[in-house]
């Protein structure tokens, strides 16, 4: 572990021109202390900082790098697309190929609209749900993050049935009052909320496997209950698969858990690391969108040829290889190794994993929702994070983020990670 003097200089300069020195808050290390390093380059499962330190990367740019960084097929696809122009604002063939592929891979999606971020995808899906149902209210869940559109930056009201309050400055209370925030994994709370607002709830939106409060899984039967509840009340079910889409299975979490939502939001992997989002679902709903219908949604760079080329290369490689078997094997090996390391160090750790997404919480109680996650020992996590960083292992710089494994992570990388974790855990 060399010094990080160049990163520190860059951060000092970044602070002069960029709020907090970063273009997205989680990157600032505020949740773990210290200062972020600056990446010089990335390749496969590794990133190198500007001081020459290398790290095995478990952030994978928050999910898109499912084939690792600078995957040759993706780089080649972008290079080949770029020589023909970087943006047209005119339909291009790759948009059609991408739309058809998403519809093939995700049976609940009959039509899909591309956009440029997960935020846009979720914001647009909610507007579509409201426009298609003529209803205003939405239900979301604490711990689930759907981007930073105003109506989604909402924290739970005082009571389970009181509508939300802004969770960010700059969001008028009026924008939050149509959003009800409920605990995840509690179907009765959703039933109560929908029945207390008859004919008013346009949609229930959730991450089917929440990855923005660490990682926790839906309890058996929970997703099925939401599907039945929403269908029975004319409320649309929206799966935010920006993270889980094409990662947890070819058809995402909805394939893994056998649920058909009405609308699905995508992002990350389908852009191969370039800016992208998408939302899709039942054709009768999607046809409410302009220019066919009255729900407006647009974007200068939507369907951008470079993002489409990169995303298609990423999706095609997932189809052409045994990627999901590799991801599952690496995930299982990491889970087994870290559980054993924690056990032998006598440190209570709850390790949650779904395929190639994972999170270890420093607590002795199971983590099924945000309340459980918040009970974990964050000071211990901070020490663990920095201990691993010193060993050349980069975890997400927050207890409340998921870890991601790529097909570029080798068995040796996993073993190196487990050995480093065992060493650091003994110091905690």
- Tokens standing for residue 127: 């507007």
Is 67 or 146 the residue whose CB approaches ligand KE4 more closely? 146
- Tokens standing for residue 372: 């459980």
Interaction of residue 122 with ligand KE4, rule CB under 6 A: yes
Interaction of residue 264 with ligand KE4, rule CB under 6 A: no
Name 356's bridge partners: none
- The helices-and-strands tally (H runs, E runs) of the chain is 14, 16
Is 237 or 242 the residue whose CB approaches ligand KE4 more closely? 242
Q: Specify the stretch interacting with ligand KE4 by CB under 6 A; choose among 177-185, 191-199, 207-215, 405-413.
A: 207-215
Please work out, in degrees rounded to the nearest 5, the angle formed at the alpha carbon of residue 427 by the alpha carbons of 342 and 416. Answer: 60
Interaction of residue 242 with ligand KE4, rule CB under 6 A: yes
Q: Of 78, 401, 407, 413, which one interacts with ligand KE4 (CB under 6 A)? A: 401
Using CB under 6 A, count the residues that bind ligand KE4: 18
- Give exposure, 55-79, as e/b (b: 16+ Cβ within 10 Å): bbbbbbbbbbbbbbbebebbeebbe
Active site residue: 51, 57, 142, 240, which one? Answer: 240
3-state helix, strand, coil in the chain (%, to 5): 40, 15, 40
Shortest reach from residue 198's CB to ligand KE4, in Å: 29
CB atoms within 10 A of CB 283: 11
Interaction of residue 243 with ligand KE4, rule CB under 6 A: yes
CA gap 320, 240 in Å, rounded: 25
Q: Of 6, 15, 26, 73, which one interacts with ligand KE4 (CB under 6 A)? A: 26
Interaction of residue 145 with ligand KE4, rule CB under 6 A: yes
> Can 268 be counted among the known catalytic residues?
yes
Shortest reach from residue 265's CB to ligand KE4, in Å: 7
> Can 140 be counted among the known catalytic residues?
no
> Can 412 be counted among the known catalytic residues?
no
- Tokens standing for residue 393: 């292992």
Is 211 or 281 the residue whose CB approaches ligand KE4 more closely? 211
Q: Specify the stretch interacting with ligand KE4 by CB under 6 A; choose among 205-213, 298-306, 322-330, 382-390.
A: 205-213
DSSP 155-202: E--SSTTSPPEESSTT--HHHHTTEEEE-TT-HHHHHHHHHHSTTTEE
Active site residue: 111, 137, 140, 268, which one? Answer: 268
Beta strands in 228-373 (DSSP E): 236-240, 263-267, 277-281, 350-354, 357-361
Which residues of this chain interact with ligand KE4, rule CB under 6 A?
24, 26, 62, 117-119, 122, 145-147, 207, 211-212, 240, 242-243, 267, 401
Active-site residues, by number, are 145, 240, 268
């Amino acid at each position: 572990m060399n010094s990080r003097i160049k990163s520190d200089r860059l951060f000092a300069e970044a602070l002069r021109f960029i709020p907090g020195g970063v273009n997205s808050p989680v990157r600032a290390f505020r949740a773990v202390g210290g200062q972020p390093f600056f990446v010089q380059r990335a390749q496969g499962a590794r990133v190198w900082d500007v001081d020459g330190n290398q790290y095995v990367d478990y952030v994978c740019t928050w999910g898109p790098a499912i084939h690792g960084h600078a995957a040759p097929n993706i780089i080649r696809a972008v290079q080949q697309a770029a020589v023909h122009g970087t943006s047209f604002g005119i339909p291009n063939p790759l948009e059609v190929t991408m739309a058809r592929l998403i519809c093939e891979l995700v049976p609940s999606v009959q039509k899909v609209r591309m956009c440029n971020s997960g935020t846009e995808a979720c914001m647009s899906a909610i507007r579509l749900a409201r426009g298609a149902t003529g209803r205003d209210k939405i239900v979301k869940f604490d711990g689930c993050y759907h981007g930073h559109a105003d109506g989604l930056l909402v924290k739970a009201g005082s009571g389970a049935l009181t509508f939300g309050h802004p969770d960010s400055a700059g969001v008028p209370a009026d924008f939050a009052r149509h959003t009800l925030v409920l605990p995840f994994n509690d179907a009765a709370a959703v039933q109560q909320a929908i029945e207390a607002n008859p004919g008013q709830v346009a949609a229930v939106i959730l991450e089917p496997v929440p990855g923005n409060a660490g990682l926790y899984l839906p309890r058996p039967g929970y997703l099925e209950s939401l599907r039945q509840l929403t269908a029975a009340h004319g409320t649309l079910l929206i799966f935010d698969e920006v993270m889980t889409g094409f990662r947890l299975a070819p058809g995402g979490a909805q394939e893994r858990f056998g649920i058909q939502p009405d609308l699905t939001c995508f992002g990350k992997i389908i852009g191969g690391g370039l800016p992208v989002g998408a939302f899709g679902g039942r054709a009768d709903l999607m046809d409410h969108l302009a220019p066919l219908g009255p729900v407006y949604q647009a974007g200068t760079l939507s369907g951008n040829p470079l993002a489409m080329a990169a995303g298609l290369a990423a999706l095609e490689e997932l189809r052409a290889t045994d990627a999901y078997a590799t991801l599952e094997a690496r995930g299982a090996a990491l889970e087994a190794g870290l559980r054993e390391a924690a056990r032998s160090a006598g440190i209570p750790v709850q390790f949650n994993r779904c395929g190639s997404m994972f999170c270890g919480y420093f607590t002795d109680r199971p983590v099924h929702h945000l309340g459980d996650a918040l009970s974990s020992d964050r000071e211990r996590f901070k020490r663990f994070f920095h201990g691993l960083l010193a060993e050349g292992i980069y975890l997400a710089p927050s207890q409340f983020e998921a870890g991601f494994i790529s097909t570029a992570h080798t068995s040796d990388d996993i073993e190196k990670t487990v050995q480093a974790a065992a060493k650091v855990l003994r110091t905690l």
